[in-house]
A = this chain, B = another copy of it.
């Protein structure tokens, strides 16, 4: 550090440090640069200061910094004296300030980057002591990159490459207001600093164990920061309920860090200054005492811990420089960026953020809504097919309206609707809970006082018992690998037929309103080409019927998810019956790895990452060696049969920058991700294209 400082410094002010450092490192003779020392403390025409050539928080193209008249560098940094804002320098030392601005500009021209400089003025003469690339916030990084390109300092490609997808991610998380943070610092409320392992800001009441954290959060709707010396798998429920996580031990791959990142919770770990007393339910930092229930704030971006609750804010995704930067990114990227959206409001947001289509509308999400779930359950409970059809007929208008809303928002852009995917028992109450309720009901009947009460309870009992029997019959050992997706469509043909009718009735209706509808019907969980053929034939016939009834021609396509290894392995056979492929990498990762995500992400996967067995969570970052290999095979085999086969991805990996690079490399047509991640994906796709062949 000291050595580096000397090589960067422009005079001999740090030669002393250098000799010390050299003396510690080894005892060989070393050459020494000796230069004249300059002094900022030679009177009122002397000064010393630090400056950024542009604003490090906002990116504004103005010099930002502090200085002190008649002082040495230590005085500015040490905080002993109150520094002066550099804006004042124009009045106090105008000539030097003018020269400083010229040099700042010259340095930027030379380094083609925003600079962080140190300077001293000795009796009116300006000396530059040091310059280096300046640190900046995500917002500043975006604005600086864009404005430097506009100034002609750098190219648009360089501007795009200078902003990382993680910096765009910053715009999506709550952050502490920078002014509030400054004030907290001034008031001495920043009490400790640890490792910034999971981004975002959070504040809440300190809870020292997972059960309490969960109870406060769930039962009392309180905001909680869970604080532990370190976390274990038993703590996960508390971590999920908390706003943020703080530990006194552990590093970047500790359990707490991994779980927090997994679930997007802000976290600061390894804060050695914390002394947690689990018996007294309190902790001390220096001489500051914090008791359970007291409020604290943590900043996962900086690793800072504050006393009290700091105000948070969500940065503006409509930042004009970000919009400009992303529009440049769009010029360079080869991958389309689509969004996963189930409702019109999601689709609206996706479109605003730049999505070029809906890559995944999960049609069954609509069945979970309050007014529809009873109808859907009626369909499941029906013993007779006539009752089943009646329940489905009741659902049709709802589905039609859902799809119509989506089509209106996505006017002119493609909308991929995936037919029902989950197994039916997901729509019934949980069996274990149901059994608990039945046991309670039986006890209540035994204790009941009046006949009316008994009668009422008996009726409840019978109803629940009927549901229990059905849930028991539908119970599966491994629902992930069970009766779902296309299997369900083949098993209950009326169900997916109703969905396709709803899609086409909506499409016809909206077309008549003058809107351009491009529906793409996606069949999930295909494993064998015959499944796709049988289901598509049945559904396309229904589509034709609706179009004939409505006398409207819709420009539609039928395709399939590729989310089972067998589908990728036999993609040439499957492509015969599909006009597009969409990789469902969540399920494809589950089956390729043989890992149940629900069970593993709070379980052994964390252990694997802690122990270094896996470098990444394969559900967050596409597994290059395994899953991506299958995807590549699927694309190649599919395009052998249909050279223009459209291939995309709709798993969560579609919004992960590292995975997007892989998607670009394997020649996908588009990635589809959550609307919030669309801007990140646009930038990451541009990076992938710009770096292609250069690594």
Chain A residues engaging chain B, CB cutoff 8 angstroms: 431-432, 435-436, 438-439, 442-443, 446, 472, 476-483, 487, 490-491, 525, 527-528, 530-531, 534, 563-566, 569-570, 573, 587, 590-596, 598-600, 603-604, 607-608, 611-614, 623, 625-627, 629-630
Contact = CB atoms under 8 A, between A and B. Distances in A.
Contacts of A479: 477-478, 596
The 8 residue pairs across chains A and B that have the minimum distance between CB atoms: A439-B439, A478-B596, A481-B596, A566-B626, A565-B565, A564-B594, A478-B478, A478-B480
Contacts of A530: 612-614
A476 B565 contact: no
A228 to B, nearest CB: 19
A474 to B, nearest CB: 10
Contacts of A590: 481
Nearest to A447: B446
A594 B566 contact: yes
A599 B491 CA distance: 14
Contacts of A591: 481, 565, 591-592, 594
Contacts of A476: 596, 599
Given A432-B432, A603-B483, A565 B630 contact: yes
A480 B476 CA distance: 11
Contacts of A442: 439, 443
Contacts of A443: 442-443, 446
Given A565-B565, A565-B592, 15 more contacts: A431-B432, A432-B472, A435-B439, A477-B596, A478-B480, A480-B596, A481-B596, A490-B613, A491-B607, A527-B595, A530-B613, A565-B591, A566-B593, A569-B629, A591-B594
A666 to B, nearest CB: 14
Nearest to A572: B625
A470 to B, nearest CB: 13
Contact of A490 (B439, B599, B611): B611
A625 B487 CA distance: 20
Contacts of A566: 592-594, 623, 625-627
Complex copy number for this chain = 2
Nearest to A626: B566
A566 B593 CA distance: 6
A337 to B, nearest CB: 28
A477 B531 CA distance: 26
A163 to B, nearest CB: 33
Most interface-central of A534, A612, A625, A630 (chain B CB within 10 A): A625
A483 B525 contact: no
Nearest to A612: B530
A613 to B, nearest CB: 4
Contacts of A491: 604, 607
A75 B596 CA distance: 71
Given A569-B592, A569-B626, A592-B564, A482 B600 contact: yes
Contact of A534 (B472, B483, B613): B613
Contacts of A446: 443, 446
Nearest to A473: B234
28 contacts: A435-B436, A438-B439, A439-B442, A446-B446, A477-B479, A478-B478, A478-B479, A478-B480, A478-B481, A478-B598, A478-B599, A480-B481, A481-B481, A481-B591, A481-B594, A481-B596, A481-B599, A481-B600, A490-B608, A490-B611, A528-B614, A534-B611, A565-B591, A565-B630, A566-B623, A566-B625, A569-B629, A587-B594
Given A446-B443, A625-B573, A596 B565 contact: no
A338 to B, nearest CB: 24
Nearest to A603: B483
A531 B613 contact: yes
A596 to B, nearest CB: 4
Contacts of A569: 592, 625-626, 629-630
A506 to B, nearest CB: 30
Contacts of A598: 477-478
A5 to B, nearest CB: 40
A612 B478 CA distance: 25
A186 B476 CA distance: 50
Contacts of A435: 432, 435-436, 439
Contacts of A629: 569-570
B439 A482 contact: no
Contact of A477 (B480, B490, B593, B612): B480
Contacts of A627: 566
A394 to B, nearest CB: 26
A528 to B, nearest CB: 6
Contacts of A604: 483, 487, 490-491
A527 B589 CA distance: 11
Contact of A599 (B477, B573, B613): B477
